[in-house]
Structure 1
Amino acid sequence: MSQLPSLRALSTLEAVVRTGNIVAAADELCVTPGAISKQLGQLQEAIDEPLFEKGHRLRPTALATELARAIGAGLQQIRGGWDAASEKGQRRVLTLAANATLSVHWIMPRLVDAEVAAGGHPIRVSALHTTDDWQQAPFDIAILRNAWRPEGWQQREIGVERLTLLARPDCAEALRQTGPAGLQAQTVFAADTRSGEIESWIKAAGIQRPADVRSTLHFYIAAQAAMAGQGCIVAPPRVLADLIEQGRLAAPFPAIVAQGATLTAVFDPDRCKAAFVERLLKALFRDF
């Protein structure tokens, strides 16, 4: 049994027989007419039988016609299999992991529009706690606030969180009347997962550390306490923009800001195309 010719050579014969024109076949296959002639010559040499009638360069022999018909059927089956496989790949759900507050207040409200803008896979959001074991969590893309990076993954910096003081609107208004020094008479909630942020903000404000700083296990607990009017929090207002727009939180001193963590996106290049991830992140964090 002779060796099977290349798929390119077989596709060339099928296109020439079907179109009856070397130029048309070349255009369809995105090659030059010279390349078409070369492929036909190699194929005829391999089969050791004439493919076109003598004196009629483009009139296929019965053998060539039968072979081209079989090749066409095979190519159609290959295309069908490829379309089915690629469609299945497009339907595969990718998991995007981020900390709980960013997931709920920033990513989820923007996810549907981001999926459409990215024109790719549906996304499942995995809201993780900072204290969770991220190294064991299953995800394809992650938004990180720490220095850990999965080995072999690609990364893209999103931006730096800018921190300010937030409180319930009536509490915020009372603080505006007293100025930043009035924070000494307030309770400030500090999440264990965001250490150092209060210190950064009071340094920017030029005030002493408040006397009543209470720690919470997670940031969203501190945010809930602030919304209940129990005290203030230092937080990135962009991440909590929905709560500010709803009138549940307000910034008494929006001009006093401190630098927070750098958000970095990481993704597995074996499961996510870089172009898709770039479009997704651009849509998700356009206003960040």
Structure 2
Amino acid sequence: MAELPPLNSLRAFDAAGRRLSFRAAADELGVTQGAVAQQVRQLEAHLGVVLFERVPKGLAFTSVGRSFHNRVADVFADLRSATAELKPEPNKVLISVTPTFAAKWLIPNLPDFTAAHPNIDLRILATEKISSFQSDGIDLAVRQGSPPFGASLDATLLFKQTLTAVAAPAIVRDAQHPLAPDTLSKLPKIHDAHDLWPGYLAHLHVQDQSPRSLRLSQTSLAVDAAIAGQGVALVSRFMVADDLEAGRLTEVGEVWEAGGNDFYILMPRIVKRNRSVVEVLTWIKARSAAAI
């Protein structure tokens, strides 16, 4: 810490650099113009460089001063942002979901949520990583798995892992659905990171005879590829309900209750709960129940 410049000098330099004026910086910081000038001189002495050129109309950066100010300004911006995140915001709710859950279920349902709760600032963190309720400031999280999830968490089942094989209607035109397992085994397969096809085909007692396959990192991409006619995707049925209803996809295989990897919404088990968080939780539970 001894190698770092004094914080007050950095604050004075940041303000003076944004205003290019000691007087304007002094007004912003609530000190005298002389105090700002002194703090900047102390910083220059500490660093052994000249940061500003004094010009008739105020200040001008030296080349090293401009470069240093860009870095210092970014640091102060990060500090202000981190501090703002700590302040209580009763209407803000941060929910962590996978990118596929966000794209294929949560976002399509947002118009209903916005209409019902216009005053809640719902923020979505779409990530494959397991977010931390403490360090990431998460209020709610939707994850796949099996209970228990930990003594500190309440878990509510949203959707069972009900898998269905889907494809664009043109892929299986004039064929009866569901397809016979042998017929399905010969169609091109679209795989995602969950790699569910081997288990599904074993459930049907057939082996994969695909002439080709496509491998993608996310289920949402697999769904999009199926809509584009690239083969058959194996996905949770609730995620493609809208696509099935709209005719973009059709079910070509029997539904399989895979089990053991269902969708739950998690919430910290605390005594006092934010009202907005409870309202989001209640809405998600009701919306998922209506979709089943």
TM-score between the two structures when normalised by the length of structure 1: 0.57
Q: Please list, as runs of the form range in 1=range in 2, the aligned pairs for 1:145-156 lying within 5 A after superposition.
A: 145-146=144-145, 149=149, 152-156=152-156
* Distance 1:159-1:220 versus aligned 2 partners, 3 A rule: closer
Name the SS of the counterpart of 1:207 in structure 2. coil
Q: Please list, as runs of the form range in 1=range in 2, the aligned pairs for 1:42-81 lying within 5 A after superposition.
A: none
Q: Please list, as runs of the form range in 1=range in 2, the aligned pairs for 1:97-108 lying within 5 A after superposition.
A: 97-108=96-107
Deviations 1:70-109 (A, max 9, x none): xxxxxxxxxxxxxxxxxx9785210122111221221122
* Distance 1:186-1:174 versus aligned 2 partners, 3 A rule: farther
1:281 equivalent in structure 2: 284
* Distance 1:172-1:90 versus aligned 2 partners, 3 A rule: farther
User: C-alpha distance in 1, partners of 2:278/2:139?
Assistant: 14
Which amino acid letter does the alignment assign opposite residue 171 of structure 1? I
1:60 equivalent in structure 2: none
1:229 equivalent in structure 2: 229
Aligned-residue offset at 1:126: 2.2
2:131 equivalent in structure 1: 134
Aligned-residue offset at 1:182: 1.6
Identify unmatched segments of 5+ residues in structure 1: 1-87
User: C-alpha distance in 2, partners of 1:175/1:187?
Assistant: 16
1:144 equivalent in structure 2: 143
On the 8 A contact 2:186/2:208 being kept in 1, the answer is: no
On the 8 A contact 1:167/1:252 being kept in 2, the answer is: yes
1:239 equivalent in structure 2: 239
Aligned-residue offset at 1:180: 2.6
2:22 equivalent in structure 1: none
1:30 equivalent in structure 2: none
Aligned-residue offset at 1:229: 0.9
User: C-alpha distance in 2, partners of 1:222/1:112?
Assistant: 25
TM-score between the two structures when normalised by the length of structure 2: 0.57
1:259 equivalent in structure 2: 258
Bigger Rg, which one: 1
Deviations 1:105-136 (A, max 9, x none): 211222342355579733222222x3x35346
* Distance 1:165-1:228 versus aligned 2 partners, 3 A rule: same
On the 8 A contact 1:114/1:284 being kept in 2, the answer is: no
**Equivalent residue pairs, number:** 196
* Distance 1:102-1:225 versus aligned 2 partners, 3 A rule: same
* Distance 1:133-1:256 versus aligned 2 partners, 3 A rule: closer
Identical aligned pairs, as a percentage? 18
Q: Please list, as runs of the form range in 1=range in 2, the aligned pairs for 1:85-100 lying within 5 A after superposition.
A: 92-100=91-99
User: C-alpha distance in 2, partners of 1:126/1:279?
Assistant: 19
On the 8 A contact 1:111/1:284 being kept in 2, the answer is: no
User: C-alpha distance in 2, partners of 1:174/1:167?
Assistant: 13
Aligned-residue offset at 1:258: 3.4
Name the SS of the counterpart of 2:155 in structure 1. strand
On the 8 A contact 1:118/1:280 being kept in 2, the answer is: no
1:159 equivalent in structure 2: 159
Deviations 1:125-155 (A, max 9, x none): 2222x3x353465421111013594772322
* Distance 1:267-1:256 versus aligned 2 partners, 3 A rule: closer
User: C-alpha distance in 2, partners of 1:155/1:92?
Assistant: 22
Which amino acid letter does the alignment assign opposite residue 283 of structure 2? L
User: C-alpha distance in 1, partners of 2:198/2:175?
Assistant: 18
* Distance 1:126-1:108 versus aligned 2 partners, 3 A rule: same
User: C-alpha distance in 2, partners of 1:229/1:175?
Assistant: 16
* Distance 1:281-1:256 versus aligned 2 partners, 3 A rule: closer
Q: Which runs of 4+ in 1 moved over 6 A?
A: none
User: C-alpha distance in 1, partners of 2:227/2:182?
Assistant: 21
Aligned-residue offset at 1:156: 1.6
